[in-house]
Structures are given as structure tokens and as C-alpha cells.
Structure 1
Amino acid sequence: MTKAFFSSGDVIADRRADYARMLDEQGDSAAAAELMEQALEMAPDWAAGWDLVGSFHEKAGNVSSAIAAWRRLEALDDAGVFGARLKLAVHDAGPAGEGTAVGYVEALFDQYAPQFEEALIGKLGYRVPDLLDGLVAEEMARLELSGFERALDLGCGTGLMGERLRAKVGHLEGVDISAAMIAETARKGLYDSLHKAELVATLNARRADLDLVTAADVLIYCGALQPVLSALLPAMRPGGLVAFSLEAHEGEEALFLRPSLRYAHGVQATRDALVVAGLEVLRFETAVLRFDRGAPITGILVVARKPVVELSAANDGAEDGNVAA
């Protein structure tokens, strides 16, 4: 987090924290935690310090001490910038909460923005925008669509998805929770409009004016799909498409929170959520999305369509009393 490098206000505590980071980088996380505890005796209300000592304890295998540190952090960090609640939830020490951890995600990507593309594409082999764009293009050809009048790119980031959408869309909007990400993508001139906002709130403010919605590597921070899908459908025109990615797992749980603080969604549970929401599933595929510490991250790629004729509308218009099938 950006705040992780803010001074404690005590020169000696800051110096010990610097030494602790060096020890951690050298692989001695237990010694780093011990030194960081000494720093916190001098600056007991230093939220970033409690975040650091928690991470050092976790790396050293001392989970109980990590949990104690994150509980203290949670009490100090009202905005949730350091994601203490999520870190506790990973270790079954508390609930993750509903929806996106806005303070944490915003701070994460504000910090990440300047090096986002270099890290994600150059180092992690990120493929989601290309994969989603390929599926959308194939469905456009199958459905004989020449383009989209109005599209919304949720979690637009630095515009990696927007670069691929631009030629297909008349009016392209981007929304992101991070002001720094918005600033980065604004320099590219890809989007007709850009907004800093949370995605469910953005969708709830729309009414049936979108014929394409994309969310590349975004819903992995949102938790349960149902609130997102419930907000999505009213924002889309009949026949409109949505394309998004998720991290996948093969278990029975609908979702679980990974140590990366990203959510993984169950494959079957995701299929079921789409059907329950009333979407027509056009494409549902699994693929390697990127690599994390050298390990492949498998995900779900979805392209779905809002029905051209909604069931309730068809039923309302039936004069003979028959229910539309």
C-alpha cells in the first residue's frame, strides 16, 4: 500500500522498520518480525507498522501473531486501506465483509498504477484482455453484429481492455475505483468518458442503455456474483452482451478468498449464477489468465447476453393469457 511507506513519526522506529524490511528480503522473516515489534513499541499507533509486522509473522509461519497484528491494524485503519479484514478472513479469523473492500482495492491500484502494465504484461504474462476480446469478436461474427453503440468497461485500469474495444464501439466509457488508474488511461485518449466510481454503484445508476459491458480481472475483488449481476441486467439493453473473467476453483464452494486477497469462483456455481440472473450464456471457458510467482492462474471467461425479449415483458404483452416460453 502507499501508506506502508509513510513515516511512523519516530526516526528510530522508521530506521528499525527499514532494517526489518532488509531482513525480510534476505529471508529471515522471524528476525524481521522481532525487530518490527521493537519499532512498534516506539510507535504503537502506526498502522503501516502493524501491517508490516503481520506480514513478517505470516511469512515466518507464526500465524497467531500475524492475526494479533492484523486485529490491531483493523482497529487503527478506519478506511481499510491495508485490507486487514481480508487478511483475517483468509485465516478464518473474521468475515471478509460484503462486496468490494473499497479502501483496500483503491489504495492497491493507486500504488500499482505507474508500473501496472509493465508488471502485469511483462512479468506475469497477463492475457485476459486478448482472450475476452477474441471471444467477443467471435460472438459478434456469429450474431452478425457490426459493432456496439455504447459500451462500459468496468475496472478499466490503464485501458488494456479499452484498446481492444475501441474499434468496435461508438461510445466507450470507462470506470475505475482508482484515481491513479484513471489518470494513467486518460493519457491514452481511448475512452469517450472516464469516471472514478465503484462498479455496482455505477451499474445501479444506469437504465438499459448499454449494449456491451466488460470486466477484465475485476470481479475477483468483488466477492459474490449475485449483487453484480443484479445490478448489471437493468443497465443493459435487451440483446446486450457482457464479457468478464474470474479466477476459478474446482471445489463446491461458490467462492473463497485466496491468500492473494483475490476471490476464486467455483465453475459450476458461476454457471448457476448466470442462469439464475437471467443471462443467456454464449461462451463459458477456462484458460490460464496469467502467472503468479511462476504458477499458472486458471480462470473462467464468460460472454453472456441479456435476452432480446425479457420474459416478464413478453408475458405482460400477451393478450390471450398464455405464458411466454
Structure 2
Amino acid sequence: MIEYNRSISFGLETSTFHETFKGIQRNVTKDASQVWSYLPEQTDNSINKLHYLRDALIHEYFLNNQRDLKNLVLFFISRLKKSPFDYDLTIGLGNALKQLGQVNRVKRLYSRFNKNKPRAEIIFISLANIFFEEGSYSKARIYYEKALSLNYKPPKGPIYVKLVYCCHNLKEFDLASNFAELALLEGISNTTPELCLLFGNIYLGAKRYKKAIENYESGIRHINNYSLAIRDFIAPSGGQHGKKVKSFLSALKLISPRTLEPKLLTNLGNALNQMGEYELAKVHLKKAISLVELPFAYNNLALSLKAQGDLDGALFNLSKADQLLPDSDLISLNLAETHLAKGNESKAIAFFKKVVQKDKTNESAKFKLNALLGKKTLSAPKKYVANLFDKYSETFDRHLLNSLAYKVPKEIWEVINKKYQKSYCFDKALDLGCGTGLCGINLGKRCEELVGIDLSKSMLTKAREKGIYNKLKHLDIIDYLVNTKLEYELILAGDVLIYLGELDKLFQYSHGATKRNGRFIFSIELSYKKDFILTKSGRFAHSISYVKKTANQYLWQVETEKSINIRYENNSYVKGVLFTLVKR
């Protein structure tokens, strides 16, 4: 008996049935009669039965007959010449080519289909599915979106989920989170651990940490409910039955969603770390490790411990992670940073070198390695600065103000109050490297227009939430100063010059962006040696003489210089100077 499978259709019209099968009718008559007798009762007329029989015979016979499949391809091509962009013929040709293993021809066929023809969206979904299965997620996304733009009528939820998966693999997390929201609106329920893990990961990538935590916790709850339901169902009662139950539960581990629990716990710990919830993160990460030794569970636990000052515990767990996954750049980079924090410079250098040797494009590792090796560097790489503060944005304010006793915003505000009356309102002010708005928060109330510039999108998001600035720009500060046509009455740069070594461009272009008699207030970390040095922390320090010499060169007058404590770090205050320059 032929087993009928409607998942493959070759799109033949009823009128061509006998024409197409002329050469094989004698061989399949017996099978045909068997299919006829097993057709569903609702197909009560011969035409409908003929459609079913057609598909069944094609599926059964042609799957194992290369010669006839090739003849079928030629038949469809000849028909398509007479009826270009016919949906049934196109799908039929595509499926015949698939059976021949000629997937590239299928892709060309579907990609050329006229989008204005009926059912074009189904063709594009079929093409997107081919790319999806190949792992060509960028192309798959293009055709899923193209299909949706053509008023795709079947349920859209599953397509949105595939788009989430595509964007996740392309690391386009903001877009993925948008598709996740659309999937939920379409009735997709993220009540499976698999979907909870996927949605949690894209929210984590998009830095929507609370949403990520919700999804990971939901996935863990579903797993626990599943386990309880299984136990209640089998109701173990000891004896021989109890042994069978034990065997059943062992086998169930291979297919149970509980296999996802360590991953959910690991990523939950990661999200909690980003929120600064280190104690809670440790609880979940230790549970993950108790289930399965995942390298990133150890890595994330190490980051929890490092944030709490336990560098020995962090190094122990990072070593475990490195043993499990020795080729991970991320784990090697974390080992380098932790050894550096511990004062093990030789080991830090070794791990930074390991990262650079494997990935010569890793600017962060190269920059930190140069700092340790004492190589002259003119400024921190833009990508390094952006990534550093993107990761730091969620806990930035709390860490700086509470843990590091950060003083710069307070010192800047005191200078402003001394130089200007408290009722004075600035026309335009510019906050370079504005971050979350720690320096601009008081100034916003005294400006007609306050503009903030930063390289970190995540820091700008936090600043936007505070409603301090009239405008926020995601740009490098030098690039902005070069191109702006505005002139500001006041420019601030609190703790920004630590990522710039050479100051010529900053002083030159800030001068051009300042009104006459306008002020530029900024802080530096103090160097008693050269003009500027890249310290082992990866921050630049400048000498007072270098700042004065360069400021004078670009027609700035040094109005004030004040020695300050910038922050409290490694059991001592970092010494700095707050400068006020006036445009001559």
C-alpha cells in the first residue's frame, strides 16, 4: 500500500495527469487501486479522488526514479514557458528539483518569481525556508520580510519566530526583540522552555535585562511544571514498578526540556550580573554548574565574584571555564582582565596575547596589551570605548557614585556656580562623553539647549530616560566637533580625556565650537612624567604642563586648575586636575 503524504506537491493539473504518467501507468496500476480504496470518505467525487491519487503516485514513484524526475522537470519548464509565474507549476518544478538535489536551481526559480502574481508570498516563504535550513539567515530574513509585505494571510506568528531566530544569529538583537513582540501579538505563546530561552537571549542581547530575566524565569518554571506532571503521571510505588519508573526517568532525561535548564540558569545569571544582582546571580549559576558543567556558567559566576571583589574565586572559576573551552576569546579576555586586577601582569599579558594571536581584529585586547607593554598609543579605539560602556551602562551610576565615590560631576558643578550666578541661564551647552548624564543632570535646568554626545548607545539610552538633554548624538566627540556648525557657551568633558592621549584635535575643534569668552571645563588623570601616558588600567593620564601648552597653542586661556580626587579605586584615590579654559 502507498502511504499518502500531502507534504510534497508537484502542481500537476488534472487534465495533464494521463499525459504525464503515460510511460508508467502499467507499473503503478495495482498501487493506484489500493490508494483509491483508502482515500478519505469526504472525497466523494472522482475529480477529487484523482487529485489525491495524482499526488500520491507522484510522491511514491518519482522519489525513487531519477530519470522520470528529470522528465518531470522538463515538463514543468515547458509548461512554465506558456504560463510564466504560475504558482502550481513553479511549486511543482521547485519540489521536483529538490528531489534531484538541485537546490540552487530552486533558489533561482523562486527568487525570480513575480511578486505581483497570486500566492507570490508562499513562494517567498518557501525560498526563505530553504535559506533558513542552510543557515543563510540574512537571506532568509529578506524573503520572510518580503512575504509579510505581500499581505501574507496564514498565521504570521511562526514566521515572526523564524525572524527572531534569524536576527538572533545575525546579532541584530534590537530587531529580534521587535519581532518577538510581534510574534506574541500574533498569538505565539512563549510557554515552552525553547522559546523562553530564545526570547530571553534576544532580550539579553538587546540589553533589555528585565525582559530577559522574565523569559528565563518563565522557562525554568515550565520545566519544573513539566517534571512534576511527569512524576504525578507515572506515580512511582516502589518494588519492580519503582525500578521501571527509575529507568523511565533516566530515559526521559534525553528528551526532557530539563536539558535546557542549565542554559536557562546560566543566561539568567548573566542577565542578573548585568543588573548588578550578583548574589542572586551566584545562586542560579551554582545551580547550573551542579546540573552540567557549562563553561559560561563558570565564566558568569567568575564575573559575579569579581564584581564583589573576590578575585581569587573569580580566577578559580575562570580556570574551570578555560579548561572546558580553551579556545574562547571571551574567557581568555576575562582571565586577562582578572589577572590584571589581581596584579598578575605577566599572566594578564599572556592571556591578552592569546586573544590577539587568535583574533588580530580584537581592538580591546590589543589596546590593553599595549598599555601593559608600555607602547605609545594616541587614543583608545572607538569600538573599545563603545563596548566598555555598553556593558557598563546598567550599573554605571550606582558603581561610580557608591563604590568608587566619583567626584568629578560635583567638582564641575562647583566651578560653574563660582563662575556664573545661580540664576544664570546658558544659551547652548555641550556635554562631551555625556554617558548617563551624571555631569549634565544639574545643568539641564539652566540651559535653553543642552546637547549630549557619546559613543555608547546604551549610555545614551540611560541619559534619554532621565530627560536631561534636548538632543543626544551617538557620535565620537571629535567627529561631532569637526562637523558641528553650532557655537556653545559652555562645553563639559567629565572623565573623558582619560580615553584620549593626544589632545591637539580636541582643543582645536572645541575652540571652533565655542562662543567668544565661552568656557571649556574638563578633568584629567594626573601624570607626573611625560606629556601623556597610557596607564596599565587602559586609561590615559596627562601632565599639567602638556595640557597648558596644548591649550595655549589652540588659543585657549587657562582660567583655573584645581587638584581633585577623581574616584576611589584599589584602596586609594585617583589623583586628577579640573581645568577651566576660556576662549580668547
Pair in the same fold by TM > 0.5: yes
Q: Partner residue of 1:217?
A: 495
Matching residue's letter, 1:221: Y
Cα deviation, residue 110, structure 1: 1.1
Per-residue CA deviations over 1:53-78 (Å, capped at 9, x if unaligned) read: 32355467654443232123234556
Per-residue CA deviations over 1:154-193 (Å, capped at 9, x if unaligned) read: 1111112111212332111111111111111111111111
Correspondent of 1:47 among 329, 340, 361:
329
- Select between 51-60 and 13-22 the one with higher mean Cα deviation: 13-22
1:152 and 1:56, CA in 2 relative to 1: closer, same or farther beyond 3 A?
Answer: closer
| Corresponding pairs, count | 295
Percent of matched pairs sharing the same residue = 26
Per-residue CA deviations over 1:135-167 (Å, capped at 9, x if unaligned) read: 1222225xx993321111011111121112123
Q: Partner residue of 2:575?
A: 298
Q: Does structure 1 retain, via aligned residues, the 8 Å contact 2:352–2:368?
A: yes
Cα deviation, residue 15, structure 1: 5.1
1:77 and 1:157, CA in 2 relative to 1: closer, same or farther beyond 3 A?
Answer: farther
Q: Partner residue of 2:171?
A: none
Q: Partner residue of 1:258?
A: 535
Work out the CA distance in 1 between the residues paired with 2:398 and 2:305.
Answer: 27
1:302 and 1:37, CA in 2 relative to 1: closer, same or farther beyond 3 A?
Answer: same
Gaps of 5+ in 1: 308-325
Matching residue's letter, 1:267: I
With structure 2 as the length reference, what TM-score do the two structures score? 0.46
Per-residue CA deviations over 1:93-120 (Å, capped at 9, x if unaligned) read: 645x432321121111111111211111
Correspondent of 1:165 among 418, 440, 443:
443
Q: Partner residue of 2:418?
A: 138
Q: How does 1:194-233 map to 2 (within 5 A)?
A: 194-207=472-485, 209-233=487-511
Work out the CA distance in 1 between the residues paired with 2:406 and 2:342.
Answer: 30
Matching residue's letter, 2:428: R
Work out the CA distance in 2 between the residues paired with 1:34 and 1:278.
Answer: 53
- Secondary structure in structure 2 of the residue aligned to 1:162: coil
Q: Partner residue of 2:368?
A: 87
Q: How does 1:68-79 map to 2 (within 5 A)?
A: 68-77=350-359
Per-residue CA deviations over 1:37-65 (Å, capped at 9, x if unaligned) read: 42343xx2x21022023235546765444
1:201 and 1:13, CA in 2 relative to 1: closer, same or farther beyond 3 A?
Answer: same
Q: Partner residue of 2:468?
A: 190
Q: Partner residue of 1:240?
A: 518
The answer to whether structure 1 residue 267 and structure 2 residue 544 are counterparts is yes
Q: Partner residue of 2:255?
A: none
- Secondary structure in structure 1 of the residue aligned to 2:430: strand
Cα deviation, residue 14, structure 1: 3.4
Q: Partner residue of 2:395?
A: 115
Q: Partner residue of 1:316?
A: none
In terms of Rg, which structure is larger? Answer: 2
Q: Does structure 2 retain, via aligned residues, the 8 Å contact 1:124–1:292?
A: yes
Work out the CA distance in 2 between the residues paired with 1:132 and 1:59.
Answer: 29
Q: 1 or 2, which has the higher strand percentage?
A: 1
Gaps of 5+ in 2: 1-204, 208-269, 272-291
1:211 and 1:57, CA in 2 relative to 1: closer, same or farther beyond 3 A?
Answer: closer
Q: Does structure 2 retain, via aligned residues, the 8 Å contact 1:29–1:60?
A: no
Work out the CA distance in 1 between the residues paired with 2:303 and 2:443.
Answer: 42
Work out the CA distance in 1 between the residues paired with 2:341 and 2:444.
Answer: 43
1:113 and 1:12, CA in 2 relative to 1: closer, same or farther beyond 3 A?
Answer: closer
- Secondary structure in structure 2 of the residue aligned to 1:161: coil
Work out the CA distance in 1 between the residues paired with 2:558 and 2:475.
Answer: 27
Q: 1 or 2, which has the higher helix percentage?
A: 2
- Secondary structure in structure 1 of the residue aligned to 2:485: coil
